[in-house]
Structure 1
Amino acid sequence: MGHPEAAGGASLSQVRRLSRLARRVAAFVILLGAFARGALAHEVNPAIADVTVTPERVEIVATVPAEAWLAGVDLSSVTDTNASPRAEDYDKLRALPPDEVEALVQAEWNRLATGFRIAVGDTALVPALVTASVADAEDASLPRQTRLVVVADLPPDDTPVTVGWVAHYGPLILRQQGAVLAEGEDPYSAFLDGGAISAPMPRTGAAQETALASFAKYVWTGFQHILPKGLDHILFVLGLFFFSLKLRPLLYQVTAFTAAHTLTLALATLGIVSVPAGIVEPLIALSIAYVAVENIFHRRISRLRVAVVFGFGLLHGLGFASVLGDIGLSPGHFLASLIAFNIGVELGQLTIILVAFLSVGLWFGQKPWYRARIAVPASAGIAVMGVWWFVERTFL
């Protein structure tokens, strides 16, 4: 017959271990929650501008974060407004009804227009505001977009036009519209960040860029989609990392994930596969929760784990396709652009793994308590975030 003290001691030890685990999980969830709240509720997406150049004028139809511009938020240094010292000003503007924001844009246009960089050769042009319309949102905690239509008259010559804006207006997806294309020409598009300016756009035909510049553009776009903007993809990759520090399990998982998202990214971009974001995004959240929960209960890699990671990689590829859908792949360089974007994505994923290894695995990975004190609590926190995102994306 056992001693009650021994039984009680064992029970108390288990309670203490569970309590310590719960505290670690709670701390991790609080940290992730604070980051995720800013990233989701106050995230500022890249602006999208359709540019039409004619012999007489340039017209820009842009979807922009007007409240951030009005508040003076520097979008070159933050991806969510909570991280800006002007966050309070932004929140006040965000709480205004759409018609009041529209009136403010019109009243402040002379100031806002100076941020545009429209030029014909060395001659700078200041755009005139035609219309400003603010889309309403269901929840004041969510970002909303303003649609601007601006024009600028061009001098009577054939000098090409360049378009961009100052760095603190944030990244810009620019697409040239209405160009009469010669045989072999592709519509021009660009991802402009850090105050970058477009390639010269002729008044007839499309702007052209070198193959190397186009390749580099898509590599950078893919990388940025992971770091710093893809918090859900970051957590999924961390879920793979915390499963095991051994090279072979990590290699199997990353290879399966890469092959899968490359496949669906190509199919979705070609228009062969199309799944609504309302289905894809909740399932991506579930994928994050699943791999994290499995980390807690399984230690060895299995075919099922690799197959599940491959299946979830298919979903993430559909998520990546939404980014390329905004920019558009060059029809003449489809394969090269797709490969470049994937290289950027892989570099982002490898950077996450490298940072995680240098921060945690290198120092603590060989400790006997690594799994109990770091891998399991971190996986539990990631799982909680995945479940929360599923609920939010499905029901809220």
Structure 2
Amino acid sequence: MKLLLLLSLLISSFIQADVVKPALVEVSFFKDKTVEISIDLSLEAAMARIGTQYKNTTDAPSAAQYDELRALEKGELLKRFNDFESEFSNDFIFKVNNKPQVLTLSHAKIDIVGYKKRPRKTILTYRAQLNEWPETLSWQYAKVYGDSALRWQMYKKDQYNWSQWQWLRDGNPSSLINIDHPQPLSTPQRFYQFMSIGFDHVIPLGWDHILFIVGMALSSLLWRRLLLLVSTFTLAHTLTLGLAMIGVIEVSARIVEPLIAFSIAYVAIENLLPNQSIKRKSVIVFLFGLVHGLGFASMLKEFEMAPDSLATTLIGFNVGVELAQVLIVSGVVAALLILNKLKLNYRQLAVIPASILIALIGIWWGFERLIG
């Protein structure tokens, strides 16, 4: 019962929460020496001063303010932001040729209230007129907002000229970027970058994925069975992730997200059955892995990688995901082995209570996402 209570307290704090996504910052330079900065962010989180250093919005002292802002219609939210905008624009530093630039908000695109299990998307567009041709640039987001990702382009109509993404942790400044002779990320650097993103997307940000892997790991202490299940799941989500990233398949998040939640519930319910079939479970895990791969793709597509870096990106991301999965499975198995070594009934003490709790959460999330 203590394990059930602990798991309940740990997970309940995330059920109502939104994950704060890093801001995606795109800088475009034009021939007339104007510059445009597009910031894709969770505006409510920024206004409530909630950054990516919080695992979810309910961890922040201003969680109530975030929830209030999240419920506003887009017109009312824009009015609130207009009062906050001068404070917000002072929270980032944009330099061209080592000189801070004065930016003016030219447009704010705020989505409808929409699906409340996902942060609402806002795109803020700032512009500035440069006095000289740009040679270098640098960007720094305030530490209060946490992580951001930066890329830039010399704009040419109908051409894809974006640089590689530069991932900036905890408000750290970007490097001084030479616009005339940019230093692209090497293949090892890009691989490591997206490996880190893949790991972070599971631990600590991916509670859907964590609960699915925990439910799967609770099914057996036989390493061959666990290896089969984890390998089957990995193969499936890698397949759909790759196909989705190259545009072969595309499924709406309104379908994918409820299916992911119900997959969590099903895997946990399987643990409660007296006679489990490893063949049946492997087939089910494979099918659900296909769905989870589509969920990964919806996040990774936001980075819009260039074709020549797609393979490195996918491999790095998948390696990060697999490292996180191995860590989760190892933790669950270690806990069960300790109980078993103490000659305690680990199934009664841990597997059954945890599976019931995970199944209930999965069912709750599933119906919430269907009607959300």
Say if 1:369 and 1:309 are closer, same or farther in 2 by CA, change over 3 A: same
Greater C-alpha Rg: 1
Alpha-carbon displacement from aligned partner over 1:266-306 (angstroms, at most 9, x marks no partner): 11101112222222222211211111111111466622222
Say if 1:197 and 1:209 are closer, same or farther in 2 by CA, change over 3 A: farther
Say if 1:168 and 1:357 are closer, same or farther in 2 by CA, change over 3 A: farther
Q: CA deviation at 1:337?
A: 1.5
Q: CA deviation at 1:220?
A: 0.9
Letter in 1 for 2:136: P
Aligned residues: 369
- Structure 2 gaps, min length 5: none
Alignment check: 8 A CA contact 2:153 2:161 kept: no
| 1:151 maps onto 2:138 in alignment | no
Q: How does 1:225-236 map to 2 (within 5 A)?
A: 225-236=201-212
Q: Which moved more, 1:219-228 or 1:103-112?
A: 103-112
Say if 1:130 and 1:30 are closer, same or farther in 2 by CA, change over 3 A: same
Q: CA deviation at 1:199?
A: 5.6
Say if 1:385 and 1:218 are closer, same or farther in 2 by CA, change over 3 A: same
Q: CA deviation at 1:70?
A: 2.5
Match of 2:280 in 1: 304
Q: How does 1:246-285 map to 2 (within 5 A)?
A: 246-285=222-261
| 1:170 maps onto 2:108 in alignment | no
Q: Which moved more, 1:224-233 or 1:200-209?
A: 200-209
Letter in 2 for 1:363: I
Give, in whole Å, the separation in 2 of the partners of 1:101 and 1:129. Answer: 16
Out of 222, 234, 238, the position equivalent to 2:198 is 222
| 1:62 maps onto 2:19 in alignment | no
Q: Which moved more, 1:45-54 or 1:375-384?
A: 45-54
- Structure 1 gaps, min length 5: 1-19
Give, in whole Å, the separation in 2 of the partners of 1:139 and 1:283. Answer: 15
Q: How does 1:116-127 map to 2 (within 5 A)?
A: 116-127=92-103
Give the TM-score of the pair, scaled to structure 2.
0.87
Give, in whole Å, the separation in 2 of the partners of 1:267 and 1:208. Answer: 26
Q: Identity of counterpart residues, as a percentage?
A: 34
Match of 1:112 in 2: 88
Three-state SS of the structure 1 residue aligned to 2:132 is coil
Give, in whole Å, the separation in 2 of the partners of 1:371 and 1:109. Answer: 55
Out of 330, 342, 366, the position equivalent to 2:306 is 330
Alignment check: 8 A CA contact 2:74 2:113 kept: no
Say if 1:143 and 1:374 are closer, same or farther in 2 by CA, change over 3 A: same
Give, in whole Å, the separation in 1 of the partners of 2:300 and 2:92. Answer: 24
Match of 2:363 in 1: 387
Alignment check: 8 A CA contact 1:287 1:386 kept: yes
Give the TM-score of the pair, scaled to structure 1.
0.82
Alignment check: 8 A CA contact 1:180 1:205 kept: no
Letter in 1 for 2:338: W
Alpha-carbon displacement from aligned partner over 1:176-215 (angstroms, at most 9, x marks no partner): 456449x997643344332244565565797722222211
Alignment check: 8 A CA contact 1:127 1:151 kept: yes
Alignment check: 8 A CA contact 1:199 1:208 kept: no
Q: Which moved more, 1:113-122 or 1:293-302?
A: 293-302
Match of 1:10 in 2: none
Q: Which moved more, 1:115-124 or 1:367-376?
A: 115-124
Say if 1:300 and 1:68 are closer, same or farther in 2 by CA, change over 3 A: closer
Out of 171, 186, 191, the position equivalent to 1:210 is 186
Match of 1:72 in 2: 49
Give, in whole Å, the separation in 1 of the partners of 2:27 and 2:134. Answer: 17
Give, in whole Å, the separation in 2 of the partners of 1:196 and 1:212. Answer: 21
